[in-house]
Structure 1
Amino acid sequence: MTPTVPALRCTDARAFGRVAVLMGGTSAEREVSLDSGRNVLAALQARGVDAHAVDGIPALVEALVAKRFDRVFNILHGNKGGGEDGVLQGLCEALGVPVTGSGVLGSALGMDKIRTKQVWLSLGLPTPRYVRLAKGDDVHAAARSLGLPVIVKPSCEGSSVGVSRVFNEADLEAAVALAAAYPGELLMEQLVVGGEYTVGILGDIALPSIRIVPAGEYYDYHAKYQAEDTQYLCPGLEGEAEAGIRALALAAFRAAGCSGWGRVDVMRDAAGNNYLLEVNTAPGMTSHSLVPKAAGQVGIGFEELCWRVLETSLPKEGAGA
């Protein structure tokens, strides 16, 4: 059941050249990105990589134009100043600078929860029923069409930013107002009652699933990044159930055009049905983050994980330099 981890593609840190660890930025997830970035920077430097911190895309542009870096380790989170919406990937592609993780399409699609769900549904992959909310839409009619309880969230944010769980119609307006404070469209989604899982993706393998058990009722921003009493059970399932959720996550990741590394979030109801929630193309690398926990289960420590993610910026075998 344990996935087979391939050998490292590169063993000489000099092969990476000078690396920009891109962190911070101006998205709603800036502080999480800075935390992730500091950890990644320290891990790469400990392995002998010539890595340096760069805060935000404008600073990176200046550095790349001046040819100060050979590749980019992207640990920006979010969109609109984050590095998960395809803008950074397009920039690097235009300048001919390799970058870790997904390309333009996978990054842009993965950042947009509505369009990711549209792709998944077109392929018959399971995801909670939803309604796309435009400005002025009747949110009460939308909630009735799905049936309470529902989740209201921005379509293009992460880290549980702007998310509300709504159990009573009277709370709908406040939930919509909170989500509308962020750029982009809104998404109203059927709330799946059950266990919350996540599956890390590294290269072509799905790492062991993690079942997330917060001390409170929900796995919100506090439980993700601040609380010390959230439980992470890894692997989250056993036998065929574990194999099934990992296979589903890998299929969902590929369907969204993603590559390199990432994380797929899944809800599992009491009947054992899995429902895809979203893809993260630049997951957190903080002390509370999930991909490092899953990697540790297959013997990949944090420093090695950062090295392997950096390897995703290397040309694929058989491809040109």
Structure 2
Amino acid sequence: MPASQNFAAPRIGDPAVFGRVAVLMGGTSAEREVSLDSGRNVLEALRARGVDAFAVDGIPALIEEIRRGAVDRVFNILHGNKGGGEDGTLQGLLEALGVPYTGSNVLGSALAMDKIRTKQVWLSLGLPTPRYARLPKGADVHAAARAIGLPVIVKPSSEGSSVGVSRVFNDADLESAVELAARYPGELLMEQMVVGDELTVAVLGDGVTHQALPSVRIVPKGEWYDYNAKYIAEDTQYLCPGLEGDAEAEIRRIALAAFLAAGCTGWGRVDVMRDRATGAFYLLEVNTAPGMTSHSLVPKAARQVGIGFEELCWRILEQTVEVAPE
């Protein structure tokens, strides 16, 4: 399907309009290596299109560049929280300094990083998400698992890339799963394990509206789509579009609704499970600064509608330039 059927041509033709672009990557979160890989790819793509882009590793280095007057806008490809770029902290800083940046604003970034609060918003709007329990320090994890029903997922509420995630099938394994998740900042989340297909839907905006791209169905060689399957293994299959007909239309609809409900803007990715027995969809989380590595899913979905990697990076950067009122 050519891009012209879904997306207008890029608004900006002259790369000089963007000025000096800091591609922000790396940082100190658990997803540092993925971010560096993503950042290198984005930097190469922007430079190939004539953009005056340069790499910046982490927020302190970015602050120094801004102080020097060397930054006109930021392409944020930091992943994670607490030293990463997805929890609203970076966005608040850039808002205060008046520096345009890619991706969601303070509200969307902070809310989407908190999986528990995101679920609360979705449920208030009738959007489907797996049963869950918040696990504060000292919580009775065995009682929580009984209430939800094994098997369950135990994970940090504010991490991505499958960091700190465990699948728990037996009551005896709960303590070790909690111990692993507790190594990371923030609250813990226990969630109903949905057995079925894992899918993801990219969302791309044009400065005015947002569209859901074709879904991607992920088929790992192993039992599940963990960190190794996401970023290292070469045998994971990606089917795009992941579904057909009414099912594909429905997953795009609920993914876009979930993205907007969380206050997200610009671009991102919504992860979804489809129950194998019932075909029902369950929303998992929104990624507001998705990976842009060779294994990443947003570029795969964009390619399906005729948008190559360089154009995708350009379109994301375009979102930092205000649309003139008609």
TM class by shorter chain equals: over 0.9
- Which aligned pairs between 1:166-315 and structure 2 lie closer than 5 A? 166-203=168-205, 204-270=210-276, 271-315=278-322
Displacement of 1:272 after TM fit? Answer: 1.3
Separation of aligned partners in 1, 2:323 and 2:189: 36
- Which aligned pairs between 1:50-129 and structure 2 lie closer than 5 A? 50-129=52-131
Separation of aligned partners in 2, 1:215 and 1:13: 42
Query: Residues 129-155 of structure 1, C-alpha deviation per residue, up to 9 Å, x if partnerless?
Result: 000000001000000000000000000
Displacement of 1:83 after TM fit? Answer: 0.3
Separation of aligned partners in 1, 2:176 and 2:79: 26
Query: Residues 31-72 of structure 1, C-alpha deviation per residue, up to 9 Å, x if partnerless?
Result: 000000000000000000000000000000111122111000
Separation of aligned partners in 2, 1:216 and 1:98: 41
Separation of aligned partners in 1, 2:325 and 2:176: 53
Displacement of 1:318 after TM fit? Answer: 2.4
In the alignment, which residue of structure 2 is the partner of 1:160?
A: 162
Separation of aligned partners in 2, 1:238 and 1:317: 37
Identity of aligned residues (%): 78
Displacement of 1:206 after TM fit? Answer: 0.4
Displacement of 1:317 after TM fit? Answer: 3.8
Q: Secondary structure at the match of 1:183?
A: coil
Q: Secondary structure at the match of 2:117?
A: helix
Separation of aligned partners in 2, 1:5 and 1:316: 15
Question: Which residue identity does 1:197 align to in structure 2?
Answer: L
Separation of aligned partners in 2, 1:108 and 1:163: 20
Displacement of 1:7 after TM fit? Answer: 1.5
Separation of aligned partners in 1, 2:35 and 2:28: 10
Mark the runs of 5 or more structure 2 residues left unpaired by the alignment. Answer: none
Q: Secondary structure at the match of 1:160?
A: coil
TM-score of the two chains, using structure 1 as the length reference: 0.98
Q: How many residues align structurally?
A: 319
Output the aligned Cα RMSD: 1.1
Runs of 4+ in 1 over 2 A off after TM superposition: 316-319
Displacement of 1:6 after TM fit? Answer: 1.9
1:7 has 2:15 as partner: no
Separation of aligned partners in 1, 2:157 and 2:324: 35
Separation of aligned partners in 1, 2:189 and 2:324: 39
Displacement of 1:316 after TM fit? Answer: 3.4
Shifted more, 307-316 versus 44-53: the winner is: 307-316
Separation of aligned partners in 2, 1:18 and 1:39: 17
In the alignment, which residue of structure 2 is the partner of 1:316?
A: 323
Separation of aligned partners in 2, 1:234 and 1:141: 40
Question: Which residue identity does 2:260 align to in structure 1?
Answer: R
Separation of aligned partners in 1, 2:309 and 2:135: 40
Separation of aligned partners in 1, 2:240 and 2:324: 32
In the alignment, which residue of structure 2 is the partner of 1:44?
A: 46
